[in-house]
Structure 1
Amino acid sequence: MSQKRKTIITCAVTGAIHTPTMSEYLPLTQDDIARQAIEAAEAGASILHLHTRHPEDFRPSVDPEHYAPILQRVKQSTNAVVNLTTGGAPTMQISERIEAALAFSPEMCSLNMGSMNFAFHGLAGRYDSFRYDWEKPYIEGSEGNIFRNTLKDIREAATRLAPHNVKFEHECYDVGHLYTLRHCLDEGLFKAPIFIQFVMGVLGGIGADVENLVFLKKTADKLFGDQYRWSVLGAGAAQMPLAATASQMGGNVRVGLEDSLYISRGKLAVSNAEQVAKIRRIIEDLGCEVATPDEAREILHLKGGDRVNF
């Protein structure tokens, strides 16, 4: 009897888009981020995609000092793969965004594969008031921002992190990002097998439609053949439907409060673990098995949890 396919679940725990007012369940403190990350791993996430926040007012942060207590607790409590953002927030430069990865040498980092209009200003109108003064201008300001990820930025991240043997989660928000990734692979910036995260449903990127997912997958097959592994991130209401579809197409999945604050229509998720448990149940009911952290390491050719600096 053939073995069931292994599906990797990534959990993106807090992110830099959602702000404190939007959900009482969004982890904000270092303690809450660490606790929810550990609970997500216990629920079945083999990769934890981590951002951090300022301890005072919970603005997005990339300060290594703000990461340190989170990483220490996660390392002590789980065998999960840690994936640090190099996206940070759309207002940050690449030199800032890679500082934590340089300091902690994780097994994985995210890496955005192109500049784009990353807009979420529409969220500002959903709330009558905000807990912190920075929230509304930050959200509204996204209408005028360009999330900068130039070829030079990508090269800087790749070359400076190359000595750390980090595996990148290549976040591709549109089809053109796949061609940029192919160019970078041809230049020797990355080593196969590469890991692609199809990011769908962000305003400024490709829409969260199944037809678009099929097209992205066909394009990646053409460009990379058997040199890649892939996953899907559906923003907002697309999170669970696209994850379920991806699992049946042979892909991997990403959930978490970074990508959606909800567990079902109109109902806030009470934790990252709740989302992980739901997608795990769906995946297993549809006949797949969820990969353990060590199986994820084997599938993605990671360096191992014993070679990180935290």
Structure 2
Amino acid sequence: MEKPAKKSQDKVIITCAVTGSVHTPTMSPYLPLTPDEIARQSIEAAEAGAAIIHLHARDPEDGRPTADPKIFDQFVPRIKAETDAVINITTGGSTRMTLEERLAYPLQAKPEMCSLNMGSMNFSIHPAARRISEWRHDWEKPYIEGMEDLIFRNTFRDIKHILQVLGEGCGTRFEFECYDVGHLYNLAHFVDEGLIQGPLFIQTIYGVLGGLGPDPENLVLMRTTADRLFGRENYRFSILGAGRHQMPLLTMGAVMGGNVRVGLEDSLYLGKGQLAASCAEQVRKIRRILEELSLEIATPDEARALLGLKGRERVAF
């Protein structure tokens, strides 16, 4: 497996996941929904220090998640034109989308990076519906409550297909989303099969119902397991803490040598009881914490070098 570039090896890559497909408009007035809002928050996050912008799309009429390439096309080229950030397109979409729908825009855009969930799993925030009495849109309540009986599907065949058509076919590299220890072993399987070449970018995720809990000890578990499976020199470790666990787990993970991911997809809050007014607020906060810890922040081009990306000139948008 190819070793990561040593230049800027100790710098921290900040990823910002701008809107996602989990939170709904009622949960925060600041959640970006329209193409203009998604573009604007992405650009502000990049200006604040995010090297990678992770993107989903929303129906601008009512904010529901969509995989429509025509909607992606209304904000992705604009973000590229106004920033030098790495653009990372979801292949996860939502639990209600087919694999074909989830891949429609990535295959069209051929981005430098895509996210890739490393297994099928229960994935839910259905208890959140109990705390909301009035909803802005009719679709929201059944969408959130319905997660209790849905599975996010990514079978071994699904993952293999994504690796072949996007990885081999488009030169796209991946943010490997690992919600549990078993997902690391799934990733190791595909490395052993020769379908993935390093350096790996492993996004470990904590605090989602259905995945690994937000206990700090779990960061050590995932880090040491990845070390055994891949060798520390062959991968970049990153941390995603859901909801209120965002900043504490990211800080701990960064001290352990990890990279970090923020954004309104992962948490709607900036602090206890305080909604984040933008993704950029979260980027600025984690950047301030990292710099107080004497850690340096990677630029987009430094992130490209560390992750072995093909470069912004080789995308199709």
1:75 aligns with 2:80: yes
The whole-number CA distance in structure 1 between the counterparts of 2:276 and 2:283 is 11
Give the SS at the match of 1:139: helix
The whole-number CA distance in structure 1 between the counterparts of 2:98 and 2:293 is 42
Q: Which one of 240, 251, 261 corresponds to residue 258 of structure 2? A: 251
Give the SS at the match of 1:290: coil
The whole-number CA distance in structure 1 between the counterparts of 2:155 and 2:188 is 15
Match of 1:224 in 2: 230
Q: Which one of 70, 85, 93 corresponds to residue 88 of structure 1? A: 93
Q: Which one of 299, 302, 316 corresponds to residue 295 of structure 1? A: 302
The whole-number CA distance in structure 2 between the counterparts of 1:39 and 1:247 is 23
The whole-number CA distance in structure 2 between the counterparts of 1:120 and 1:15 is 13
The whole-number CA distance in structure 2 between the counterparts of 1:29 and 1:56 is 8
CA deviation string 1:224-279 (max 9, x = no partner): 00221110000001100111111111110000000000000011000000000000
1:272 aligns with 2:307: no
Q: How does 1:143-162 map to 2 (within 5 A)?
A: 143-161=148-166, 162=168
Match of 1:179 in 2: 185
Give the SS at the match of 2:73: helix
Give the SS at the match of 1:98: helix
Structure 1 residue runs without a partner (length 5+)? none
The whole-number CA distance in structure 1 between the counterparts of 2:267 and 2:130 is 17
* AA in 1 matched with 2:102: R
Q: How many aligned residue pairs are there?
A: 309
The whole-number CA distance in structure 2 between the counterparts of 1:248 and 1:231 is 11
Higher mean displacement: 280-289 or 158-167:
158-167
* AA in 1 matched with 2:41: Q
1:127 Cα deviation after fit: 1.1
TM, length-normalised to structure 1: 0.98
The whole-number CA distance in structure 2 between the counterparts of 1:93 and 1:286 is 43
TM, length-normalised to structure 2: 0.96
Give the SS at the match of 1:17: coil
CA deviation string 1:49-89 (max 9, x = no partner): 00001122111011111100111110110000000000000
1:22 aligns with 2:27: yes
The whole-number CA distance in structure 2 between the counterparts of 1:110 and 1:138 is 22
Contact 1:4 1:288 survives alignment (8 Å): no
Contact 2:9 2:306 survives alignment (8 Å): no
1:116 Cα deviation after fit: 0.6
CA deviation string 1:147-175 (max 9, x = no partner): 11110110111111122111100000000
1:105 aligns with 2:110: yes
Contact 2:276 2:282 survives alignment (8 Å): yes
The whole-number CA distance in structure 2 between the counterparts of 1:102 and 1:233 is 26
The whole-number CA distance in structure 1 between the counterparts of 2:215 and 2:106 is 33
Match of 1:206 in 2: 212
Match of 1:46 in 2: 51
